[in-house]
Amino acid sequence: MDIQSIINRIASDVSTASDRGQVADYIPELASIDPNQFGISVALPDGTCFSAGDAQTPFSIQSVSKVFTLALALGRFGDQLWTRVGREPSGLPFNSILQLEQENGIPRNPFINAGAIAITDSILTGHEPKEVLGELLRFVQTSAEDADIHINDTVAHSETEHGDRNLALAHFMASYGNLQNHPDRTCGTYFHQCAIEMSCQQLAMAGRFLTGHPDAPRLISLQRTRRINALMLTCGHYDGSGDFAYRVGLPGKSGVGGGILVIAPNRASIAVWSPGLNEYGNSQLGTYAIEKFAQMTGWSVFG
């Protein structure tokens, strides 16, 4: 079956699902989203893109943005970055502070909130938040070949209003000397990065630089591509990462907005979106769809 037929079938399959998970409710902008939406896009390295469902509807990418800031930070600091953040799965929820205390303010990996805040803090040092967010948007727009990707200011503002947990993480890291900017400033930038909006099609296009294929935009080195994929596989779905690797077999990064970016190295960049979340905070139908997709294509990094 060709890719278009596969994703059509999945979209049709998903449309009848009864258990769609729970929409994130910590800010009104996410809580009010219609859970009955589902989109999927598959972008080949050369930019050919297949879509089904609500693939043109923009959504809040939230933690999927952590992949892009990590790419920026690795580009700027290389392996020195790992003095501030670890590379291990955490075995804990995405917003846990437990591990920070046990490991002296060094977050376990760049994809849990504390780690992502440290990454944002690193690229913020010596720059204005506006500059950093501009650079980030340009990176995403370049990779997606689409200048029409922006930040939703209402969402960003709402994140700030409800940002106590992340501010706690930031102040906590600051108390260990692992924050270079004021927590308000770093978190403010972080909340804006999370409020980037993209459709499945835009996100799939933007993810192509991680396929490592010569036809895709080459924004970072091949070695770095592999390494980000490795981190996505081991840590990209919080405490559901092992399960995702087991069931799907492809690197992915999920966001609380219901989006997931999945990379099939050398083959394609895939984006799925459905707002309802499972117990780990990952899109319930998105996870299901991508598992189905991996089965039907036979794509897996594991053989």
Establish if 287 lies at the interface with its own copies (CB under 8 A): no
Question: Rounded to the nearest whole angstrom, what is the least distance from the CB of residue 200 to its own copies in the complex?
Answer: 22
Which of 35-43, 127-135, 192-200, 294-302 is the region at the interface with its own copies (rule: CB under 8 A)?
A: 294-302
Q: Which stretch binds its own copies (CB under 8 A): 15-23, 49-57, 226-234, 271-279?
A: 226-234
- Interface stretch with its own copies, choices 10-18, 28-36, 169-177, 196-204 (CB under 8 A): 169-177
> Sign of dihedral through CA atoms 267, 271, 272, 276?
positive
CA distance 215 to 208: 9
Is 99 an interacting residue with respect to its own copies (CB under 8 A)?
yes
Our answer to whether residue 246 is catalytic in this structure is: no
Q: According to the binding rule CB under 8 A, does residue 157 interact with its own copies?
A: no
- Among the listed residues 211, 269, 278, 297, the single contact to its own copies using CB under 8 A: 211
For position 303 contacting its own copies by CB under 8 A, the verdict is yes
Give the active site residue among 41, 51, 60, 63: 63
12 counts as catalytic: no
Q: Please state whether beta strands 276-277 and 49-53 pair in parallel, antiparallel, or not at all (unpaired).
A: unpaired
Which one, of 262, 249, 268, 215, lies nearest residue 2 by Cα? 268
Size of the site for its own copies (CB under 8 A): 55
x-marked contacts with its own copies along 79-98 as a string, rule CB under 8 A = -------xxxxxxx---xxx
Q: Which of 71, 120, 116, 126 is nearest to 90 (CA)?
A: 116
Structure letter (DSSP) for residue 234 = H
Please provide residue 15's backbone torsions phi and psi, each rounded to the nearest 5 degrees.
-65, -20
Q: Does 73 bind its own copies (CB under 8 A)?
A: no
C-alpha 182/C-alpha 188 separation (Å) is: 10
Half-sphere exposure of 127 (CA within 13 A, CB side): 17
Q: Is 134 helix (H, G, I), strand (E, B) or coil?
A: helix
Dist. CA 217–CA 146, nearest whole Å: 13
Of 137, 119, 165, nearest to 24 (Cα)? 165
**Smallest distance from the beta carbon of 126 to its own copies, in angstroms?**
21
Q: Is 39 helix (H, G, I), strand (E, B) or coil?
A: strand
CA–CA distance, 32 with 13 (Å, rounded to integer): 24
The least CB distance from residue 227 to its own copies, in Å, is 5
Residue 34 C-beta: closest distance to its own copies, Å: 27
Binding site for its own copies (CB under 8 A): 86-92, 96-102, 108-109, 164-165, 167-172, 174-175, 183, 211-213, 222, 225-227, 229-231, 233-235, 239-243, 245-246, 249, 251, 265-266, 300-303
User: Residues with catalytic annotation?
Assistant: 63, 66, 190, 238, 256
